[in-house]
Structure 1
């Protein structure tokens, strides 16, 4: 009788070596693909950030068409006691609300709002911009945030205020102590297109709108002693020698402030607050340089540099409505030069971009 032998199925699987080889190949592929994925995500975030600035540029132009000038760098209602007015301390983002599809929020602010401590209402145009019980100040406008920055934290954690945030600030020119708020230097206006209690327009921009900054990015604090988002306080003499601000940087880690430097979390911390430390910048030190204040008050003058978490520079909005990326290595002129009241900026191309009428010629 003939027997038919059937082949037994092989039970052989991957050997340990083969399995390790497969795992190694997968790990290599992941290592190769992950940076590309991260770069693609950052490119998308950077594009969104640029679009945010473009929308703000369109809003500023529409506002200018209506009022024949840009919004005040600082303005508002008189203060006659707690909760009676906003202390004249609202920035340009507030009047721009109707032009960025936030008419409802602006309506809440511009009219008396129920729930306040005086006769049950809040005053028209709101109370002081640090009053946390006032709902509009806590309302976060998505278009005011750069998606590459830290997630907004409306808590007292790390010195932050429970107020909505911003990543975009107004240009005060190359002014340091001459910041227009009256502290120490009377009411000397800034040299940028934004200044406290004064409106400038295209007619004042004799340097040309395509050469003059309107806005740029700001970083919000992530805690710790990082330069991005932090502000060194109690730094004196910067108006005569801006390198005093640079001296606050650590000598061992150029991304952080030195140990012992008193730090504040003001940058972008309150979207509505007009203090330059909160929602402004000047063009003294180049992009991503430190931000430094004369003292521990958020209204003090200082060097408030534009900052971004996009690698290598910051995105800016120019007077003609265009947006561009400015390298952190842009010519910033003589770093230890004293600020000036008129004429050409001593702070190179970056300083010239900040002034509205310095008479500089910028070769792009």
Structure 2
């Protein structure tokens, strides 16, 4: 039989436990779980940070295309009046992104230099009814899950009101970067922003919108109240037409507004920016910078971002800066 160890003076020496006590097992499991949670949280943050960067790069690339377009065609894109919600999309004017793709003769803006020096090497047919590289935010699961044929995450800003009368892409009111810089500053004027793609179901949801016979006015900063339907889940389902349902937005309501709506005639809307990013909504300014805007931003500041600014007195306005953009493409290199 094995004898227990003793000291020289005869006292019994302590012995190591034969196994872990239940309390020890609980402590070890707790430590392991905590470590795993921190690892998972770190991976989640890293992945979201990467998605945020990709989204900002997409917007920045659109900004480069805008800079070249403005220089080559003496102005920003002219946006035609949207059609009614019951009309055929075949009769709709082209959306801003589609118009730029077709005019520049490319399939994507990715890789385009602001001065267009590498444009000849990027020439390709404009895609039809398919997703376009650089048009989708990787954080919006609905945008990338394939439920729509040609979804888009980025929309052009029409103004600070519901009719889209005073923005960079105000309906039927062409402008250019020089005019924007003179009146309001390109770094303070929104060009494009994120907007979540609809979920494909006709239901009340923040990413969807409802059809309104009439849009009532409301004070700045007070989101539009929930309404009845009919609700539609096809928001952002195509990048082709100029339409508040798909490619246009305004700053009439704060970002991440829980309710969106489009008038039946299609010419006014409560359609703000929204995002799946944790930090806020990505916004492309007309100086080409893309930045995160917190959803808690002051409604007054948000609305100001959506407008070009007050008109300059006629005596100081430069008529050459108010020229309608030339519809004739420059010679191809």
Using structure 2 for the length normalisation, give the TM-score.
Answer: 0.71
CA distance in 2, matches of 1:353, 1:244: 17
Q: In the TM superposition, what is the alpha-carbon distance from 1:264 to its structure 2 partner?
A: 1.6
CA distance 1:150–1:235, change in 2 (3 Å): farther
Task: Please point out which of 87, 91, 94 is paired with 1:87.
Answer: 91
Pairing 1:191–2:166 present: yes
Q: In the TM superposition, what is the alpha-carbon distance from 1:263 to its structure 2 partner?
A: 2.2
Gaps of 5+ in 1: 1-11, 77-81, 110-135, 156-161, 180-189, 249-257, 333-347
> Aligned ranges for residues 194-343 of structure 1 at < 5 Å?
194-205=169-180, 206-222=183-199, 225-227=204-206, 229-234=207-212, 236-239=214-217, 246-248=224-226, 261-295=229-263, 299-332=266-299
Contact 2:160/2:306 (8 A) holds in 1: yes
CA distance 1:197–1:86, change in 2 (3 Å): farther
Task: Please point out which of 60, 71, 80 is paired with 1:54.
Answer: 60
Which structure's CA Rg is the greater one? 2
Deviations 1:26-81 (A, max 9, x none): 112112332222111111111111111111101100111110111223489xxxxx
Question: Which residue number in structure 2 is paired with residue 138 of structure 1?
Answer: 129
Q: Secondary structure at the match of 2:246?
A: helix
Gaps of 5+ in 2: 1-17, 83-87, 112-118, 313-333
Contact 2:110/2:134 (8 A) holds in 1: no
CA distance 1:294–1:37, change in 2 (3 Å): closer
Pairing 1:28–2:55 present: no
Q: Secondary structure at the match of 1:351?
A: helix
CA distance in 2, matches of 1:74, 1:63: 17
Question: Which residue number in structure 2 is paired with residue 345 of structure 1?
Answer: none
Question: Which residue number in structure 2 is paired with residue 168 of structure 1?
Answer: 154
CA distance in 1, matches of 2:100, 2:128: 15
CA distance in 2, matches of 1:153, 1:33: 27
Contact 2:223/2:254 (8 A) holds in 1: no
CA distance 1:150–1:275, change in 2 (3 Å): same
Q: In the TM superposition, what is the alpha-carbon distance from 1:139 to its structure 2 partner?
A: 1.8
Deviations 1:210-233 (A, max 9, x none): 111111111112356431x12133
Question: Which residue number in structure 2 is paired with residue 355 of structure 1?
Answer: 307
CA distance in 1, matches of 2:187, 2:131: 30
CA distance in 2, matches of 1:243, 1:330: 10
CA distance in 2, matches of 1:243, 1:322: 25
Contact 2:223/2:257 (8 A) holds in 1: no
Q: In the TM superposition, what is the alpha-carbon distance from 1:322 to its structure 2 partner?
A: 1.2
Q: In the TM superposition, what is the alpha-carbon distance from 1:24 to its structure 2 partner?
A: 2.6
Q: Secondary structure at the match of 2:63?
A: helix
Task: Please point out which of 41, 44, 49 is paired with 2:50.
Answer: 44
Q: In the TM superposition, what is the alpha-carbon distance from 1:324 to its structure 2 partner?
A: 1.6
Question: Which residue number in structure 2 is paired with residue 6 of structure 1?
Answer: none
Q: Secondary structure at the match of 2:91?
A: coil
> Aligned ranges for residues 97-176 of structure 1 at < 5 Å?
97=101, 98=106, 100-101=109-110, 107-109=124-126, 136-151=127-142, 152-155=144-147, 162-176=148-162
Structure 1 stretches of at least 4 aligned residues deviating more than 4 Å after TM superposition: 12-20, 101-107, 240-245, 294-297
CA distance in 2, matches of 1:21, 1:210: 54
CA distance in 1, matches of 2:110, 2:278: 30
Structure having greater relative contact order (Cα 8 Å, sep ≥ 6): 2
Question: Which residue number in structure 1 is paired with residue 319 of structure 2?
Answer: none
CA-based RMSD of the aligned residues comes to: 3.4
Deviations 1:172-231 (A, max 9, x none): 01121x34xxxxxxxxxx21111344432124321111111111111112356431x121
Q: Secondary structure at the match of 2:128?
A: helix
